[in-house]
Amino acid sequence: MREDHEEPVLRIRGAGKSFFGVRVLDGIDLDLHPGEVHAVVGENGAGKSTLMKIVSGVYEPDAGTMEFAGSPVAFRTPRQAQAAGIGIIHQEFNLLPDRTVAENVFLGREPSRFGLVDRRAMNAATAELLAGIGYERSAGIEPTTAVGRLGVAQQQVVEIVKALSLDARVLIMDEPTASLADHEVELLYALVRRLQERGIGILYVSHRLTEVFDLSARITVLKDGRRVTTVATGDATPEILVRHMVGRDLAAYYPARAEPGDTGAVRLSLRAAANAKLRGIDLDLHAGEVLGVGGLQGAGRSALARAIFGVDPFTSGETVLDGKPIRIRSPRQAARAGIAYVTEDRKAEGLAPSQSVLDNALLAGRAIAPRWWGRAARTASVRDLLASVEVHSAGDHQEIRYLSGGNQQKVILARWLALAPGVLLFDEPTRGIDVGAKAAIHDLIRRLAKEGAAVLMISSELPELLGMSDRIVVMRDGAIAGLLAGGAGEESVVGLATGAIPAVAA
């Protein structure tokens, strides 16, 4: 932890950056002290990534100054920043899966002996680095293990060790928990605290305000390329940060829930539905409602959506859709029946990253009826939908990989809305999305329900689950542990999820 009298290890004054005449960063001031976690928050497009790329040498600023360890610096390449002692852990790792942990840590800097790579020395140095942050061999990360055999959290450790091998004094962590399971987040917390104890300053970029308050000492808020404020974490609240980021109060963050009588007939009904991961699922989903699904990681939340959509079909029980029995055996059959599924893994399962915005929006329709969806009128209707959900891009010809997470998610929504589904399954609909884009997604989900769609929404974020749901199903061990009315408290959800309280019916 830093002492008040310590000089900053990193000092930025008046940092600015323009691209093609557009000012994306303007007059940013920021200090980072040894052993401090300094969070940087803001909506997508606020300037967070540009600022981090300036610090790490990816971009050269066109205004302002930067000091590192008390001396002026002007990094022109990432290698220069690394050599000075600045490491960055990207949301998407830069590791070679077929090489060992040690080979990844010392890639391009392998120790040699008699002109050959000294693997014994390399493995020993890696083991020492791992031990230095509390990862002895018993923790399951061996220097000789292929990185591809490690879990996501363990690969993140490898990235951190790689940075430490360069004697990093500053570590940038960009959305470090975006790909982690709930239990892995606690491991990251412990690792961050060990790094603090070693005097390493951490710039922590995250959309998850819970993490920001758990870990940071100070928070800098960026908006539209400018610094709005820097505040001591102890003096801030989520309400204050949201107001700075998006210009409105947290109380207005979620749209109003459905009123009694707003919901209609049962659109989807499950009775004793089961497969290898689920058992005895009894559930009714009504037109006009948002039915939330909560529970711990691995409790069966995603398995439920995947079974309904035919990815991992139910093998027993009964499914009734709009009053008619149906056995869904594939996603194509589900889509034709009017069921849409927005997967939790947007990048791996929801997008064709090298294809255009328009092509991604047409994927579902073309998979069901390629000739019909190849017509110009269909293409025009999808363009209208992209505009209606307010996708911000350089045009529908732009490759979707270059869009923000929120805009990518809107394209996926437009894809399914083009099919006019009666049932929509959302699995972590706002994961990795900034607070402003989240609000837009929430408004869209509520609007769809008001228009008569039946929405099943899975979320691991309790505020979102409680704020959006008309009713809440809580999963535990592949079964429904209980059903709660809208407006239920966090204690009830957590109690049902953990087994601390018995099942409760709405």
Instruction: Give the DSSP letter string of 291-354.
Output: EEEEESTTSSHHHHHHHHTTSS--SEEEEEETTEE----SHHHHHHTTEEEE-S-IIIII--TT
CB 212 within 8 A of CB 20: no
Task: Evaluate if pTM is beyond 0.85.
Answer: no
Question: How confident is the model at residue 138, as a pLDDT?
Answer: 47
**What are the φ/ψ torsions at residue 484 (nearest 5 degrees)?**
-115, 150
Number of H helices, E strands in the chain: 17, 22
Q: Does CATH number 3.40.50.300 belong to domain 1-85+201-251?
A: yes
Task: Tell me the pairing of strands 423-427 and 454-458.
Answer: parallel
**Residues in a beta bridge with 202:** 37, 171
Distances (CA, A) of 399 to 19, 354, 458: 19, 6, 28
Residue with tokens 């220069």: 80
Question: How confident is the model at residue 457, as a pLDDT?
Answer: 96
Closest CA to 163 of 171, 155, 175: 171
Residue positions counted in the chain? 506
* Cβ-based neighbours of 131, under 8 Å, separated by 6 or more: none
Name the amino acid, one letter, at 241.
L
Residue ranges of the chain that CATH labels 3.40.50.300: 1-85+201-251, 266-498
Residues in the chain, pLDDT under 50: 3-4, 138, 250, 505-506
Question: How confident is the model at residue 288, as a pLDDT?
Answer: 94
CATH number (3.40.50.1970, 3.40.50.720, 3.40.50.300, 3.30.420.10) of 266-498 reads 3.40.50.300
Using a 10 angstrom Cβ sphere, with 0-12 exposed, 13-18 middle and 19 or more buried, the burial of residue 366 is middle
Question: How confident is the model at residue 247, as a pLDDT?
Answer: 63
